[in-house]
Amino acid sequence: MFSLRPKQIVVAFALLNCVLFLTSNAASAETLAIKAGKLINTENGSVERDRIVIVQDGVFSSIGGKETDIPKNCRIIDLSDKTVLPGLIDCHTHLTDETSIDPIIELQKTAAQKAFESIPYARRTVEAGFTTVRDVGTYRALVDLALRDAIARGDVVGPRVFAAGCYVTITGGGGALTGFAPDIKIPFDLQFGKADGPWQVRERVRELAHRGVDCIKIIATGAVLTHGSNPGAQEFTLEEMQAAVEEAKKFGLKVAAHAHGTAGIRDAIKAGVASIEHGTQIDDECIALMKEKGTYLVADVYDDEFIQGEGKRRGMPKDFLEHDANLGQIQRDNFAKAVKAGVKIAFGTDAGVFPHGQNAKQFAWQVRYGQTPMQAIQSATIWAADLLGKRAELGSIAPGKKADLIAVSGDPLADVSVLEKVQFVMKDGKVVKP
């Protein structure tokens, strides 16, 4: 029987490592040619036919129109019978939660449980065609960062994540865990984002920046899914919101503001936030301010359907249902006004309130309330990328951008709901869903 001496074993392992290194490099350097029957150009809102998309090292290297544009010895992916468009972006998700009946459930689970439960949520999201998400808060602080990093390492299949780390909220505010007796002690990580006064807000932003968040989420008004909350009431003052924006800017971070009520929306815009989340009671003054400052509206105009339907059947708390019932149609009507006025819209669903992977259901609702199918698609691609500060990398199929690409049967410009059935997904040049 043949056996190796210690020195031979060392040499054998060295050779094996070299082979593995060269093999992995060859795989990452693989050139792909994608034949696209129709290609949606989100930069200019046009549709191009019979395009050849070349992918090299995880980015788009060229877009041509001839078979001769295909390099020799590259792998060909034939999507000539499909409509091809950039990977979709959802700017308002909660990947570490899903359809919780009541935030009190947070105390029945450890942070580890929350992290492991989020793994299938992440997979469903990317397989639905959403290759990037902005995850705007979690009760269990920093669990979203752990998920983000696990996906980036390749340990978990999921979208590219831009994470907020937690909700920055006043004591007992819309982002706080409420509904308990006053003598019950809430664990530290479930009140990590609590801040009262401008200097505490600055402290929270500094700590989150130190922990490596990608954005800051402040709770400017009360919330629908929080006990004892009035969604229309302003919570943070103008000075507190200005402190958040000023401090975040020092670290290169943008601020997203949860805001339902008019006064809270108005002061959040004045403070300089990058986006208004929900924007339920937005009025003409707020719309004019948003246009003046270039503030994005991220309005979850679909999830009211789930809350009043499946949420009610599942026993969602009565006060949550009452909050939502009073606001759902108001939000949609005001979304239509904002669209008509030309406010910048970025796609965001509040996924986690409804099941992850169903994000694309919102497209039909954005079209129903004023957007064209192309505008709805652009809100989830080029404009979402702009809100993230990543337009140079994401949001369109163009040379030098990350190779995020999806394909569907049918024409989403004729029926935007076909985006609910994505059949091919590529992220960073790797096929996620063949």
> What's the average model confidence in pLDDT over 252-280?
98
User: Which is more confidently placed, 176 or 32?
Assistant: 32
pLDDT digits (tens, 9 = 90+) for 136-195: 999 899 999 999 999 999 999 999 999 999 999 999 998 888 878 888 888 888 899 999
> What's the average model confidence in pLDDT over 117-130?
98
d(CA 130, CA 427): 9
> What's the average model confidence in pLDDT over 113-131?
97
pLDDT digits (tens, 9 = 90+) for 313-352: 777 777 777 777 778 899 999 999 999 999 999 999 999 9
d(CA 368, CA 365): 5
pLDDT digits (tens, 9 = 90+) for 225-265: 777 778 889 999 999 999 999 999 999 999 999 999 999 99
User: Which is more confidently placed, 139 or 47?
Assistant: 47
What residue ranges define each of the domains in the chain, with the CATH number in brackets?
A: 29-86+397-433 (2.30.40.10), 88-388 (3.20.20.140)
DSSP code at position 34: E
> What's the average model confidence in pLDDT over 394-400?
98
The whole model's pTM is what? 0.91
Contact 393, 402 (CB under 8 A): yes
What's the pLDDT at 372?
98
In 3D space, the residue among 180, 102, 100, 165 whose CA is nearest the CA of residue 134 turns out to be: 165
What's the pLDDT at 29?
63
Supply φ then ψ for residue 272, to 5 degrees. Answer: 100, 25
What's the pLDDT at 6?
46
pLDDT digits (tens, 9 = 90+) for 71-80: 888 999 999 9
Those residues whose C-beta lies under 8 Å from the C-beta of residue 353, and which sit 6 or more positions away, are: 94, 99, 225, 300, 303, 306, 307, 311
Cross-sheet strand order for the sheet of 130-135: 88-93, 130-135, 160-163
